[in-house]
């Protein structure tokens, strides 16, 4: 049995600190063709895919100790504000017992909401730039 908290989006081999939810969305990009060979019926052909991720988490404004194995709020904000090639980060979508997929992504948006003086929630949205493929074993 695979439980949802084991599935993770990793950026440069690090997960995001305080994650509560990771969402993956894959949408087909299609092109419509209408030819005489098809007798006037339009056909859809998949020509690519758009892959996006949404990660939600909890920020502790008074952490007891830092960690270098996870990306914290400042790391995520720096990615959200990056430009050019610095805005692209390698990602892996990992599911224990399942396949791992990898590619490069950019931050589409970042938001946070203060819940109290000690905590806030955040949402960061990523979009794959280029291909997203099964990692070789």
Q: What is the pLDDT of residue 117?
A: 80
14 three-state secondary structure: strand
Rounded to two decimals, the pTM is 0.81
Give φ, ψ of 26 to 5 degrees: -120, 120
Q: What is the pLDDT of residue 84?
A: 93
d(CA 100, CA 79): 23
DSSP tag of 51: E
pLDDT in tens, the chain (137 residues): 345 567 788 888 888 888 888 899 999 999 998 888 878 888 889 999 999 999 999 988 776 666 667 888 888 999 999 999 999 999 999 888 889 999 999 999 999 998 778 888 999 999 999 999 999 86
Please answer whether residues 107 and 75 qualify as being in contact, where contact means their C-beta atoms are separated by less than 8 angstroms: no
Please answer whether residues 2 and 97 qualify as being in contact, where contact means their C-beta atoms are separated by less than 8 angstroms: yes
**What's the full length of the chain, in residues?**
137
d(CA 53, CA 55): 7
Beta bridge partners of 128: 105
d(CA 39, CA 52): 36
């Amino acid at each position: 049995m695979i439980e949802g908290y084991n599935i993770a989006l990793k950026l440069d081999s690090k997960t995001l600190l305080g994650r509560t939810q990771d969402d993956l969305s894959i949408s087909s990009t299609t092109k419509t063709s209408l030819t005489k060979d098809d007798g006037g019926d339009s056909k859809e052909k998949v020509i690519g895919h758009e892959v996006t991720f949404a990660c939600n988490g909890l920020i502790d404004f008074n952490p007891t100790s830092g960690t270098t194995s996870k990306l914290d709020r400042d790391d995520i904000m720096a990615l959200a504000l990056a430009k050019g090639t610095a805005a692209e980060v390698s990602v892996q979508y990992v599911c224990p017992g399942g396949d791992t997929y990898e590619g490069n992504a950019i931050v589409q948006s970042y938001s946070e909401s203060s819940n109290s003086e000690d905590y806030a929630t955040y949402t960061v949205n990523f979009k794959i730039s280029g291909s997203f493929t099964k990692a070789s074993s």
